[in-house]
Structure 1
Amino acid sequence: MEMQIAAKSGKVACSNCPLRSNSHFREFTSEELAFISSFKMGELTVNQGATLLMEGTRSTHLYTILSGWAFRSKVLEDGRRQILNYALPGDLLGLQGSLLGEMQHTVEALTPLTVCVFDRNRLGEIWERFGSLAFDITWMSAREERILDEHLLSIGRRSASERAAYLLAYLQQRLDKLHNLAKADKALPLTQTHVADTLGLSLVHTNKTLRKLAQGGLIRWMDSRCEVLDIDGLCKIAGWSNVTPVSRPFL
């Protein structure tokens, strides 16, 4: 798909970043904030459905999501797609391509997206000058690995109902931490095709599974959106209880 990305007029000052007003994210020191402000090149807006990063390409930039949702995916030659994970405000995109030479997955905008843009060539300065920010990047990478571990467990061992319950509970928990920053009301901006491609199930099987959860009063499915009605019930079905930190880092 042709990329539909445009430079955003103006620039949100890092000192006024809406992410900083959310207690889910840790506060920067004055020195860290000054560096991040100089590290940030600008902002981009990305249309829903457009590709921000393409598998197999090299990117000169890193991105932090300022608003909206994205997802990471890989596609086989015959078009079958596996969605690996979802990215929400505060998540860092493009680190893999910066450190390993090229992207091993694609990043697509699930909703209209605004991202902060950083110069990849200055990434080494973080390790040279700011050990705390270097730790933050390591923490975010370790967190991503932990999330992928849980997703792999779902695909490998959970039943269809357990997979769907885990995915929806996990995403709802993340959305709840962000309050209004994800710009998706209180519903998850997913189609059943997105769910199927995440769970590794056929669309027919996914539809039956989601209908079962809806009949149990756990979710309500709308056009391209899912409202979670009982997150505790979903967690119980999935056998999942995730303890999240009081605050987490971002760039």
Structure 2
Amino acid sequence: MQADIPFGYGVQCPQCPLRACEVFQAVSDDELDFISALKAGELRTGPASTVLQEGVPSDHLFTLLEGWAFRYKTLDDGRRQITSFVLPGDFIGIQGSMLGDMDHSVETLTPAVLCSFPRKRVWELYQNCSSLAFDITWLAARQESILNEHLLSLGRRNAVECAAYYILHLYLRADDVGLVTEGRVRFPFTQEHLADALGLSLVHTNKTLKKLSADGLIQWEHGWCFVPDVAPLAELARFDLGQPRTRPLL
């Protein structure tokens, strides 16, 4: 079921801890004031909570402040395709119709805090703050670019290349927001989640992770992933380490 939790208000936008991360672009005082005025509150939820539900309209857009989540679509028989994992700083809800029913679901993997913005007020950005409107457009375009890469993985990379690309993608994004320590990151998803993202069976996913581990490219144990050197993993996955990673934060 979709999360039905009263909105509170905790973190003030000027004190947002994510703004200390170098990956996020600086904003002007006027832009920060506009974001603060637009923010409706915060949604605090536990793991396995549905924030957005496919086929159901949502009055809110969200920025994930704390925790992990994932976007997914399902078939009538329950088969699931995870389209992306959501990390702190990600903007949720623009990956579908702005005014109609959601065409995907978002579920939390951990306890999470999400900043909420009324969907109907997005137009105010385009009317009164063109720089932030551009940021939303940029975020939507960047998400499409990421999905293009994942589509390429599903269609043309072999299983080992596909897994290497996806793991490195998540590792770097986690590093951007301070979740990597000495090459180690705690991935709060199961191998079943990863299989649903890679389009592989659970057995094939397990064998693929063992192959990457045997080759010394990663170490995966009890949800902890250690990457001793990103360069060999990037070479295997044909991952461009030079691509810009700086992005807006709303």
User: How big is each residue's C-alpha offset from its partner over 1:195-249, in whole Å with a ceiling of 9 and x where there is no partner?
Assistant: 1101101111111111111111222222234333332221111111143436310
Q: TM-score, normalised by structure 1?
A: 0.92
- Counterparts of 1:86-101 in structure 2 under 5 Å? 86-97=85-96, 99-101=98-100
Aligned counterparts of 1:164 and 1:36: Cα–Cα separation in 2? 37
In 1, the alpha carbon distance for the partners of 2:195 and 2:235 equals 21
Paired letter, 2:166: L
- Structure 1 residues 219, 190: closer, same or farther in 2, change over 3 A? farther
* Root-mean-square deviation (Å): 1.8
Query: Which shows bigger deviation, 85-94 or 146-155?
Result: 85-94
Whole-Å separation in 2 of the counterparts to 1:189 and 1:230: 21
Q: CA deviation at 1:90?
A: 1.1
**Which amino acid is 1:16 matched to?**
Q
1:214–1:180 distance in 2 versus 1, CA, 3 Å = closer
Distance in 1, matches of 2:159 and 2:69, equals 24
Q: Quick one: distance in 2 between partners of 1:98 and 1:120?
A: 11
1:164-216 Cα shifts (integer Å, max 9, x gaps): 000001111111111149xxx72322311011101101111111111111111
Tell me the equivalent position of 2:226: 227
Amino acid at match of 1:108: E
- Distance, in Å, in 1 between the alignment partners of 2:134 and 2:92 is 17
Contact kept, 8 Å, 2:96 with 2:104, in 1: the verdict is no
Residues 202/180 of structure 1: CA separation in 2 closer, same or farther (3 Å cut): closer
What secondary structure, in the 3-state scheme, does the structure 2 residue paired with 1:107 have? strand
Which residue identity is paired with 1:232? A
Q: Partner of 1:198: helix, strand, or coil?
A: helix
SS at match of 1:142: helix
| Aligned residue in 2 for 1:237 | 236
Counterparts in 2 of 1:5-154, with a 5 A limit?
A: 6-7=5-6, 9-97=8-96, 99-154=98-153
1:205 alignment partner in structure 2: 204
Name which of structure 1's ranges 78-87 and 9-18 shifts more when overlaid on structure 2: 9-18
Moved more, 98-107 or 152-161: 98-107
Q: Tell me if the contact between 1:188 and 1:227 (Cα under 8 Å) persists in the aligned partners.
A: no
Distance change in 2, residues 1:233/1:246 (3 Å): closer
Gaps of 5+ in 2: none
Alignment partner, residue 167 of structure 2? 168
* Paired residues, number: 247
Whole-angstrom CA distance in 2 between matches of 1:62 and 1:72: 14
SS at the partner of 2:209?
A: helix
Matched residue SS, 1:95: coil
Partners of 2:213 and 2:224 lie apart in 1 by 13
The change in CA–CA distance for 1:82 and 1:239 in structure 2 (over 3 A counts) is same
CA distance in 1, matches of 2:126, 2:50: 29
1:69-110 alpha-carbon deviations (Å, 9 max, x no partner): 111101111111111011111111112456251211110112
CA change 1:104–1:9 in 2 (3 A) is closer
Query: What secondary structure does 1:247 align onto?
Result: coil
Structure 1 position 120, deviation (Å): 1.2
Match of 1:179, SS state, is coil
Moved more, 25-34 or 229-238: 229-238
After superposition, the Cα gap between the structure-2 partners of 1:152 and 1:177, relative to the gap in structure 1 and judged at 3 Å, is same
1:130-150 C-alpha deviation (Å, 9 max, x unpaired): 110011001000100000000
Give the match's secondary structure for 1:64: strand
Q: State the alpha-carbon separation in 2 of the partners of residues 180 and 170 from structure 1.
A: 13
Tell me, what secondary structure is at the counterpart of 2:70?
Answer: strand
**Distance in 2, Cα, partners of 1:4 & 1:58:** 13
Runs ≥4 residues deviating over 4 A: none
SS of corresponding position for 1:147: helix
Matched residue, 2:176: 177
Is the 1:5–1:46 Cα contact (8 Å) retained in structure 2? no
TM-score (norm: length of structure 2): 0.93
Q: Percent identity?
A: 49
